[in-house]
């Protein structure tokens, strides 16, 4: 099985320092949904792993989060893309859970749900260091996009070894689909 794990805010949709709190605030980054469709056409299963501490902060509830994700699924389907699953952490940093990135708990759940090892070829795409750290610790090949918080993340440095940097999700997908052995770095 070919699998890729994407962060949501700043990778698929525009990010906001004030959080994405409603379906109206969820706006896809140009080309991101079409990139997911290209992955699907190449046989990839696409999974989203996203921190959503706005739930713990009381900025929105689970029903609103589900509505945001439904909008994402609907928008993806309109361009022929399919997101197989969305994993999210609703906790705040103070909760000290295992699922909040940079901890790898969500990635371990993805591996368990899809009965796959993340080592040796599963890519993870994020715009923040915590996205890349969680994926890297779980065995994924890390890709940084410069959308969202990506430029600031790149400027700060300290990226996991082997991190590849691309302007956006579409460019990452172009690279992955042209690689002779998939996503191995």
Averaged pLDDT, 111-136: 96
Give residue-wise pLDDT tens across range 7-62.
Answer: 999 999 999 999 999 999 999 999 999 999 999 999 999 999 999 999 999 999 99
Residues noted as catalytic:
7, 9
Give the tokens for residue 10: 């700043």
Q: What pLDDT is attached to residue 90?
A: 98
Q: What is the overall mean pLDDT for the chain?
A: 96
Q: What pLDDT is attached to residue 181?
A: 54
CB 3 within 8 A of CB 43: no
95 vs 74: CA distance, rounded Å: 32
pLDDT of 183 over the 90 cut: no
77 vs 79: CA distance, rounded Å: 5
pLDDT of 184 over the 80 cut: no
Give the tokens for residue 121: 């070829």
Q: In this prediction, what percent of the chain has a pLDDT beyond 90?
A: 95
54 vs 25: CA distance, rounded Å: 13
Q: What pLDDT is attached to residue 179?
A: 82
Does the pTM exceed 0.75? yes
Averaged pLDDT, 111-115: 97
Q: What pLDDT is attached to residue 185?
A: 37
CB 183 within 8 A of CB 124: no
Confidence band of 143 (pLDDT split at 50, 70, 90) = very high
73 vs 104: CA distance, rounded Å: 24
């Amino acid at each position: 099985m070919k699998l890729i794990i994407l962060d949501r805010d700043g990778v698929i949709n525009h990010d906001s320092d004030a959080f994405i709190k409603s379906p109206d605030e969820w706006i896809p980054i140009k080309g991101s949904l079409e990139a997911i469709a290209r992955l699907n056409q190449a046989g990839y299963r696409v999974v989203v792993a996203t921190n959503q501490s706005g739930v713990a902060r009381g900025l929105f509830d689970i029903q609103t989060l589900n509505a945001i994700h439904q909008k994402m699924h609907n928008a993806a389907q309109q361009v022929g893309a399919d997101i197989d699953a969305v994993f999210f952490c609703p906790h705040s940093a103070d909760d000290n859970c295992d699922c909040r990135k940079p901890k790898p708990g969500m990635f371990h759940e993805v591996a368990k749900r899809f009965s796959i090892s993340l080592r040796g070829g599963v890519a993870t795409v994020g715009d923040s260091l915590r996205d890349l750290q969680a994926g890297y610790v779980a065995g994924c090949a890390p890709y940084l996009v410069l959308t969202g918080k990506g430029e600031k993340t790149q400027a700060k440095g300290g990226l996991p070894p082997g991190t590849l940097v691309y302007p956006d999700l579409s460019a990452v997908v172009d690279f992955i689909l042209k690689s002779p052995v998939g996503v191995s770095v």
